[in-house]
Amino acid sequence: MKVLLIKDVYKLGHTGDVKKVADGYGRNYLLPQGLAVLATPGALKSVEKIRAKAAITRAQLNQEMSGLAEMVDGLVVVFTSKAGETGKLYGSITTQMIADAINKKLGTQIDRRQVEAEPIRTLGEHSAHVRLTIDLTPKVKVMVYREGEAPEVEEPVKVAPVAEEPAAEEKAE
Protein backbone atom coordinates (compact mmCIF):
# COMPACT_ATOMS: atom_id res chain seq x y z
CA MET A 1 0.00 0.00 0.00
CA LYS A 2 1.36 3.44 -0.91
CA VAL A 3 0.66 6.26 1.51
CA LEU A 4 1.39 9.98 1.65
CA LEU A 5 2.63 11.00 5.10
CA ILE A 6 0.76 13.97 6.56
CA LYS A 7 2.89 14.09 9.74
CA ASP A 8 6.42 13.02 10.62
CA VAL A 9 6.43 9.34 11.59
CA TYR A 10 9.39 8.11 13.62
CA LYS A 11 11.44 5.47 11.75
CA LEU A 12 9.29 5.84 8.61
CA GLY A 13 9.69 9.31 7.13
CA HIS A 14 9.00 13.02 7.07
CA THR A 15 5.82 14.85 6.14
CA GLY A 16 5.16 14.80 2.41
CA ASP A 17 7.04 11.57 1.73
CA VAL A 18 5.34 8.84 -0.28
CA LYS A 19 6.11 5.47 1.29
CA LYS A 20 5.19 1.88 0.54
CA VAL A 21 4.05 0.23 3.77
CA ALA A 22 2.46 -3.06 4.76
CA ASP A 23 -1.30 -3.07 4.28
CA GLY A 24 -2.04 -3.72 7.95
CA TYR A 25 0.31 -0.98 9.17
CA GLY A 26 -1.29 1.54 6.86
CA ARG A 27 -4.90 0.46 7.40
CA ASN A 28 -4.72 -0.13 11.16
CA TYR A 29 -2.29 2.55 12.34
CA LEU A 30 -1.28 5.27 9.87
CA LEU A 31 -4.72 6.03 8.40
CA PRO A 32 -6.80 5.96 11.64
CA GLN A 33 -4.21 8.04 13.54
CA GLY A 34 -4.29 10.69 10.80
CA LEU A 35 -0.60 10.28 10.08
CA ALA A 36 -1.05 9.42 6.41
CA VAL A 37 -3.53 9.27 3.53
CA LEU A 38 -3.68 6.93 0.57
CA ALA A 39 -1.34 8.05 -2.22
CA THR A 40 -3.99 8.79 -4.83
CA PRO A 41 -3.28 11.04 -7.84
CA GLY A 42 -5.34 13.82 -6.23
CA ALA A 43 -3.40 13.60 -2.97
CA LEU A 44 -0.06 13.57 -4.80
CA LYS A 45 -0.86 16.96 -6.36
CA SER A 46 -0.69 18.61 -2.93
CA VAL A 47 2.68 17.07 -1.94
CA GLU A 48 4.73 20.27 -2.39
CA LYS A 49 2.27 22.33 -0.37
CA ILE A 50 2.35 19.77 2.45
CA ARG A 51 6.17 19.61 2.44
CA ALA A 52 6.56 23.39 2.56
CA LYS A 53 4.12 23.75 5.44
CA ALA A 54 5.78 20.87 7.33
CA ALA A 55 9.27 22.32 6.88
CA ILE A 56 8.14 25.56 8.53
CA THR A 57 6.51 23.81 11.50
CA ARG A 58 9.46 21.41 11.89
CA ALA A 59 11.93 24.32 11.97
CA GLN A 60 9.79 26.17 14.52
CA LEU A 61 9.50 23.08 16.74
CA ASN A 62 13.25 22.41 16.53
CA GLN A 63 13.95 26.01 17.54
CA GLU A 64 11.62 25.73 20.56
CA MET A 65 13.13 22.41 21.66
CA SER A 66 16.78 23.38 21.10
CA GLY A 67 17.04 24.96 24.57
CA LEU A 68 15.76 21.79 26.20
CA ALA A 69 18.08 19.71 24.01
CA GLU A 70 21.10 21.69 25.23
CA MET A 71 20.10 21.11 28.86
CA VAL A 72 19.54 17.37 28.34
CA ASP A 73 22.62 16.76 26.16
CA GLY A 74 25.49 15.43 28.24
CA LEU A 75 23.38 15.14 31.39
CA VAL A 76 24.59 12.48 33.84
CA VAL A 77 21.94 10.44 35.65
CA VAL A 78 23.12 8.25 38.55
CA PHE A 79 21.32 5.14 39.84
CA THR A 80 22.19 2.75 42.65
CA SER A 81 20.94 -0.79 42.57
CA LYS A 82 21.53 -4.19 44.11
CA ALA A 83 23.84 -6.31 42.01
CA GLY A 84 25.44 -9.75 42.07
CA GLU A 85 29.14 -10.61 42.17
CA THR A 86 29.47 -10.40 38.37
CA GLY A 87 27.97 -6.92 38.16
CA LYS A 88 24.57 -8.07 36.94
CA LEU A 89 21.66 -6.15 38.49
CA TYR A 90 18.80 -7.72 40.41
CA GLY A 91 16.20 -6.10 38.16
CA SER A 92 16.91 -3.39 35.60
CA ILE A 93 16.99 0.36 35.01
CA THR A 94 14.07 1.12 32.68
CA THR A 95 13.26 4.03 30.40
CA GLN A 96 10.60 5.13 32.89
CA MET A 97 13.23 5.41 35.63
CA ILE A 98 15.56 7.38 33.33
CA ALA A 99 12.73 9.75 32.29
CA ASP A 100 11.73 10.29 35.93
CA ALA A 101 15.34 11.08 36.91
CA ILE A 102 15.71 13.60 34.07
CA ASN A 103 12.39 15.24 34.95
CA LYS A 104 13.35 15.46 38.64
CA LYS A 105 16.79 16.91 37.84
CA LEU A 106 15.68 19.47 35.22
CA GLY A 107 11.99 20.00 35.99
CA THR A 108 10.91 18.95 32.49
CA GLN A 109 8.08 16.80 31.16
CA ILE A 110 9.88 14.05 29.24
CA ASP A 111 7.82 10.92 28.66
CA ARG A 112 9.26 7.40 28.94
CA ARG A 113 8.43 6.81 25.25
CA GLN A 114 10.85 9.59 24.32
CA VAL A 115 13.78 7.81 25.99
CA GLU A 116 15.49 5.30 23.73
CA ALA A 117 17.53 2.72 25.60
CA GLU A 118 17.53 -0.98 26.20
CA PRO A 119 16.76 -1.96 29.79
CA ILE A 120 20.05 -1.61 31.68
CA ARG A 121 20.94 -4.81 33.52
CA THR A 122 24.62 -4.30 34.39
CA LEU A 123 26.71 -1.95 36.50
CA GLY A 124 28.72 0.77 34.81
CA GLU A 125 28.30 3.56 32.30
CA HIS A 126 25.54 3.40 29.69
CA SER A 127 23.97 5.88 27.30
CA ALA A 128 20.40 6.71 26.36
CA HIS A 129 18.97 9.01 23.71
CA VAL A 130 16.04 11.35 24.35
CA ARG A 131 13.95 11.85 21.22
CA LEU A 132 12.56 15.39 21.53
CA THR A 133 11.74 15.81 17.82
CA ILE A 134 12.53 13.75 14.75
CA ASP A 135 15.75 15.77 14.32
CA LEU A 136 16.74 16.49 17.96
CA THR A 137 17.96 13.49 19.96
CA PRO A 138 20.34 14.54 22.77
CA LYS A 139 22.39 11.89 24.55
CA VAL A 140 22.18 11.20 28.31
CA LYS A 141 24.86 9.35 30.28
CA VAL A 142 23.46 6.78 32.74
CA MET A 143 25.75 5.65 35.55
CA VAL A 144 24.76 2.56 37.56
CA TYR A 145 26.52 1.83 40.85
CA ARG A 146 26.22 -0.99 43.34
CA GLU A 147 24.05 -0.14 46.33
CA GLY A 148 26.26 1.06 49.18
CA GLU A 149 29.22 2.07 47.00
CA ALA A 150 29.99 5.76 46.82
CA PRO A 151 29.62 7.10 43.27
CA GLU A 152 32.55 8.98 41.78
CA VAL A 153 32.44 12.76 41.58
CA GLU A 154 29.50 13.58 39.37
CA GLU A 155 29.95 16.00 36.47
CA PRO A 156 28.00 19.24 36.89
CA VAL A 157 24.70 19.55 35.08
CA LYS A 158 24.75 22.02 32.21
CA VAL A 159 21.96 24.54 32.81
CA ALA A 160 21.83 27.84 30.91
CA PRO A 161 20.74 30.23 33.75
CA VAL A 162 23.67 29.20 35.99
CA ALA A 163 26.18 30.38 33.36
CA GLU A 164 24.60 33.85 33.26
CA GLU A 165 24.81 34.58 37.02
CA PRO A 166 28.61 35.11 37.29
CA ALA A 167 28.48 37.66 34.45
CA ALA A 168 25.81 39.63 36.35
CA GLU A 169 27.95 39.65 39.52
CA GLU A 170 31.01 40.97 37.66
CA LYS A 171 29.01 43.94 36.32
CA ALA A 172 27.83 44.81 39.85
CA GLU A 173 31.38 45.08 41.21
**Residue pLDDT, tens place only, 56-90:** 988 888 888 888 888 888 889 999 989 888 989 98
What DSSP character marks residue 113?
Answer: G
Q: Where are the domains of the chain?
A: 2-45, 69-159
The answer to which of 28-37, 90-99, 111-120, 159-168 has the lowest mean pLDDT is 159-168
Residue 123's Cβ-side half-sphere holds a number of Cα atoms within 13 Å equal to 15
Tell me which CATH code domain 69-159 carries: 3.10.430.100
What pLDDT does 135 receive? 81
CA neighbor of 68 nearest in space, from 159, 154, 168, 172? 159
CA neighbor of 2 nearest in space, from 15, 21, 16, 30? 21
Q: Which CATH superfamily is domain 2-45 in?
A: Ribosomal protein L9, N-terminal domain (3.40.5.10)
What pLDDT does 140 receive? 92
Beta strands in 106-158 (DSSP E): 115-116, 120-122, 124-130, 139-146
Mean pLDDT rounded to a whole number for the chain: 83
114-151 pLDDT, tens per residue?
Answer: 899 888 999 999 999 998 888 888 999 999 998 877 66
pTM beyond 0.85: no
Length of the chain equals 173
26-53 pLDDT, tens per residue?
Answer: 999 999 999 999 999 988 888 888 888 8
Q: What share of the chain is helix, strand, coil (3-state, %, to 5)?
A: 40, 25, 35
Distance of CA 128 to the CA centre of its chain: 9
What pLDDT does 47 receive? 85
Separation between Cα atoms, residue 153 and residue 23, nearest integer Å: 53
How many other C-beta atoms lie within 10 A of the C-beta of residue 16?
Answer: 20
Separation between Cα atoms, residue 165 and residue 71, nearest integer Å: 16
